[in-house]
Amino acid sequence: MAAAARRDDDGSSSSKSTTTRSSWLPSSKASASRGSSLGTSVDILRQATLKQVKGSVKRLSVILGNTFVALRDSVRSFALKHPEADHFFKTLDFRRMVYDDVSVLDAVDHAAMLKGRTMGKATLSRATIAKFLIARKYDLGKAHEMLAGYLEWRLTHSCVEDEQVAKSLEQDKVFVLRNTDKGGHVCVVIAVRKHLMHDVTLEETTRFIVYVIDKVAQTFLRKKKSMDKLTCIIDLQDIGYKNLDGDALKTILQLLQNFYPETLALMVLWKPPTIFWIVYKMIVPFVDPKTKGKILMAYNTKDLSKHFHAKRVPASLGGTGPEDLLVSIKGLQREDVRY
């Protein structure tokens, strides 16, 4: 009896336990209903979150817009008080103007345009653009006009080869010093007594001047040195009327001021004789005041001491160094100059 009772109790307990357990397990209909409700809740939550995100992005855009306006106004206010900052923004504006005009998006080294490319496809380096802007005192309109003239000129003076200036090279009249001046500028030397004006045309002389400036620029005034300038020493010793080419000197000065702005650091006229002054007075009216201010008349070592180290200049040019400090322009290499 007791055992039966226990079995009955056990069976009753098992039945109750089963009933209780089954009561909390979800049925298939309940699962479907709750799954649907859960999906709806997720969708509602997702939509609510998306609205919040859109609202946050909109508010962030407004904040960033207001911050940009405030920053722009602050920068403009700063630029008005600091000219150098104003120059920076004008440089950016001018660069954009130029790149739009020549239909390019990026700048490459200036040497690229000197290798036979047309100006419509070639690009301009930042240094070249900056020099034109500086030359016109950051006046965008004037700088743009000056640069346009340069581009037009470059179409016919893109790249001068050795054979185009063969006679001038044969005269062996242009050199480069192995040392820079005190300002760190590469020094070009022109021995006027070797220039026989009746043996070469003015056209070739002009091409030769372009050849010299471009070769020095491509060899030395590149990359981090692209904003550097050069010094020109015109050796006027022992010249006669056959060498006295006023048109050549005028061309040098006009090319430098019109097409190579901010390239000349100093022009030294070494020991000019009396006959030179006749030509010089005829040329001066065509030279702008800024270029004229870079011309130095030198007659002795003392006159040169401010700009040159005596031992780094040949004795024939007022220094105390040997004559092998001069390197011919024709075979000029980067390693020839301590730069």
Q: How many angstroms separate the CA atoms of 27 and 39, rounded?
A: 18
User: pLDDT higher for 44 or 206?
Assistant: 206
Q: How many angstroms separate the CA atoms of 230 and 222, rounded?
A: 12
Retrieve residue 235's tokens.
């050796």
Same domain? 143 vs 176: no
Same domain? 139 vs 100: yes
Q: What is the DSSP letter of 173?
A: -
DSSP letters for 17-39: HHHHHHHHSPPHHHHHHHHHHHH
Q: Quick check: 156 pLDDT over 90?
A: no
Q: Is residue 135 part of a domain?
A: yes
Same domain? 145 vs 169: no
* pLDDT above 70: percentage of residues in the chain: 66
Same domain? 136 vs 168: no
Same domain? 149 vs 176: no
Q: Are strands 174-177 and 186-191 parallel, antiparallel or unpaired?
A: antiparallel
Same domain? 177 vs 234: yes
The CATH code of the domain that includes 332 is 3.40.525.10
Q: How many angstroms separate the CA atoms of 224 and 228, rounded?
A: 9
- Crossing angle of helices 140-154 and 126-135, in 10° steps, is 120
Q: Is residue 5 part of a domain?
A: no
Same domain? 127 vs 187: no
Mean pLDDT of 29-35: 50
Mean pLDDT of 115-131: 60
Q: Is residue 68 part of a domain?
A: no
Average of per-residue pLDDT values in the chain = 79
If one counts every other C-beta atom within 10 angstroms of the C-beta of residue 9, the result is 10
Same domain? 198 vs 147: no
Q: Is residue 60 part of a domain?
A: no
User: pLDDT higher for 72 or 264?
Assistant: 264
Same domain? 116 vs 250: no
Pick from 154, 184, 207: which residue ends a domain?
Answer: 154
Same domain? 148 vs 237: no
Q: Is residue 116 part of a domain?
A: yes
Count of domains in the chain?
Answer: 2
Pick from 125, 154, 183: which residue ends a domain?
Answer: 154
Segment among 44-48, 229-233, 278-282, 319-323 with least mean pLDDT: 44-48
What is the residue range of 220's domain?
A: 164-336
Q: Is residue 238 part of a domain?
A: yes
Same domain? 201 vs 272: yes
pTM: 0.68
Same domain? 210 vs 269: yes
| Paired strand residues for 296 | 268
Element (H, E) at 269: strand 264-270
Q: Is residue 50 part of a domain?
A: no
Q: Is residue 55 part of a domain?
A: no
Confidence of residue 111 (pLDDT cuts 50, 70, 90): very low
Pick from 154, 180, 197: which residue ends a domain?
Answer: 154
Q: Are strands 295-298 and 326-328 parallel, antiparallel or unpaired?
A: unpaired
